[in-house]
Structure 1
């Protein structure tokens, strides 16, 4: 199974910004603005055009009861519903969004162990799910850390850490309580080992440049297609030739929309506005996009993005070697370009006539063939000198 985006929760749109849960504190409130919010789904934190965090889990989700200040747990919330959630982050604020998705193929990086704790006693309640009393045996257990039980199961985020009051971390030798919520597909047992993992630090994972909906297609027959696209109303989108792109295929209705990522890590091959090739759409909402993806279909969504490590993934070509000045280079420097006999002849001629007017005249003077002079142009130059009168002729190549 590949990535399927199931919903979007936007913060700052709910009637209430937060709600207090006994023993847990304030949970931020958001509104389901796309698809559905499903408890246990994986999530990405989106702030403006940046993806700041990935592999979060919608571990706790509650909503307010009608005409009451009380809250109740929910497993599923539909379009335009207000929900209050815990995902292992304390910095969710107005303007942020959680992009909810499922993906059974690509999981988080769990190669670096950060801490190990032994479960002393598990507990469960219907509002906040599982919490376990633990003793940290090694390393450190941190709020928001990615964890897993040794008996298996899905990775889980630490939604709350108490020792006994709320703390940011539990060091080795210290007992405490870990809130895991409804992430546990393997119920915890006394004696279980809970391992925490250290994740690479990122300022952000990727920058979302924009989206455009496909309205028409032209198969070029060479493995690529040109699509007529339109940026949705109210969405600022910047498409640039060479930028990465992925293709999402929507399904369902507005109240239950899901989008499957059917292609990723593509490159935008071409852009055109009004039939004229351009490097960027320049803020225009309708244009054409060239992609090497022949299965592109009408109503697909093209999402342009820039990974945070794009420079590392595609390093710039090395700077070219400096050109050798045939009018100033030493013998060893000329030897990078010529045979020993040609170097000796070049030095003799240069001393006799004061230099060469250009690379072509230099090549002719030392007896190079036309194709050798063409190659030499890429590696040599002729600095300006005061020439003495000679019989050297230039070759028009």
Structure 2
């Protein structure tokens, strides 16, 4: 028996994906402020450069610079070099800029299609993990492991909830303070760490006994609660399917099951570890479970775009299961080694899934992932009307398959 499906998407799912119309509403403060810069930047991009290639280059820069920070402070306790913090901030800025112009490039070149939306959100789901982790390392949050666990998984959960409410309501909603604002805040944190050193966050706020990092955590929790409340209210009241169900006609609560199969084991393994595997290796731990969450989030996006029920099981869960079973049998193998094995497994599974899903969609739509076909190529004729609808702008919201300038939420 094969370990994975030969075909991830059925013909019906592909047909629905081809007919998918992207819907989004945004009122972000900084998106409007940054639009002139993004418009200028895309005007400098050559027309032969594919939108998805722009996105993946930004993601690679984001990951590489974040991993440099992880290399110097894998426990998030040691002060990383100032230049590493600066480099990570530059990498995040590059990712934000390139991710903001991929939709504009798609409209310039007339290559908007449903794959662009999926590819964009897939990259965002991975970036979320590295951005949250880099922020924690920059403020040395490893000295407060419980807070670091909460902050990282809170960011991952909020990103999942954004697409959960999209699966329910059919529309991705961005608030006035959302992903762009969060990214700019993290850039500022990285810049401060680069200028003054990470130890600056352990200093007391003048006139109080509160450390600067504590103030950051409290503020982040307040904003997270506000964003979560907005998503939850949509989930419970915004179902557009029959009898208030999701776009696929399923229960609005069904997406909580696959995500809880990540979050609950992550917390239990952290609490029950006799070798304190999370406290000693927080970056490795968060990367392993974060990439599992990225895989499940990608499947939720696919379920939304194809109006399909979301499967509860996933091969990437084998990674956390290895850690759980190892603990159950009294850590027969050193947990550090099992954690590395888990990370390798979930990384390979995520890459395999992304490659397979993109290949199937490219074959169906007759498009190429990282290359713009020559003008007059008849192979693009199968792209649905969503390709041309990306040439419109409504209420200040740019669209790539009706995609906003910042089609993500972290």
Same topology, TM > 0.5? no
TM-score, structure 1 length as denominator? 0.24
Structure with more relative contact order (C-alpha pairs < 8 Å, separation 6 or more): 2
Higher strand share: 1
TM-score, structure 2 length as denominator? 0.24
